Amino acid sequence: MKTAYIMISNRHIHLTREAVDVLFGKDYELTVKKPLGYPIFAANETVTLKGPKGTISNVRVLGPMRPYNQAEILTADNFVLGINAPVKLSGSPDLAPLTIIGPAGELKLESVAVIAKRHIHMSPEKAAEYGLENKQLVRVKIAGERALIFDETVVTFTDIPDPTMHIDVEEGNAAHIKNMDIVEILP
């Protein structure tokens, strides 16, 4: 059986060096609250997201800093903020605009908010064993009282030992699954 671990993300934001300078102060360094898969960590720092209709505060910053700013939000947040963030893979262009507010300043960004498209990180070796290719779309079966089959799940080559499926909190709750649950990639 082809399997993957589940990893569930709440809303969060990735920031560039330049954005951290504006939001938290020149040369400010993010501090580690909780290590996630190396080198990624949940930082102690949070920001507020501001859209035309509303704001969401206490949005966790993920470190380390990246070459681009990206707020990964929930579908429910689209309604609160009054924006129309698209469902796309992390790192995609043409995202929705938002203002990001930190303790030292704010930034108005034209392309920053996205709803993460569900995907499975997998090493090329494991993918070969499973007969899968990079960027291939697969279906993933969830058992239990809220059983469902996630379609449109993108295989993403990453150098990690075990295949790990990333979904957001709403997807996890809709399927009643939790972190580190093991799910089946359908043939």
The length of the chain in residues reads 187
- Contact with a copy of itself (CB under 8 A) among 5, 90, 176, 184: 176
Rule CB under 8 A: is residue 180 a binding residue for a copy of itself? no
| Size of site (CB under 8 A) for a copy of itself | 21
Distance CA 162, CA 185 (A): 13
Distance CA 163, CA 104 (A): 39
- Which of positions 104-143 make contact with a copy of itself (CB under 8 A)? 117-118
What Cα–Cα distance (Å) separates residue 148 from each residue in 56, 121, 142, 182? 30, 20, 5, 14
- Closest to a copy of itself by CB, 25 or 54: 54
Q: CB neighbours of 80 closer than 8 A, spacing ≥ 6?
A: 51, 53, 54, 56
- Contact with a copy of itself (CB under 8 A) among 4, 15, 56, 74: 74
Q: Which stretch binds a copy of itself (CB under 8 A): 19-27, 57-65, 103-111, 170-178?
A: 170-178
Query: Which residues face 154 on adjacent strands?
Result: 119, 137
Amino acid in the structure at residue 146: R
What x-and-dash track marks residues 141-160 binding a copy of itself by CB under 8 A? Answer: ----xxxxxxxx--------
Rule CB under 8 A: is residue 171 a binding residue for a copy of itself? yes
Note the residues at the interface with a copy of itself (CB under 8 A): 74-76, 87, 117-118, 145-152, 169-171, 173-176
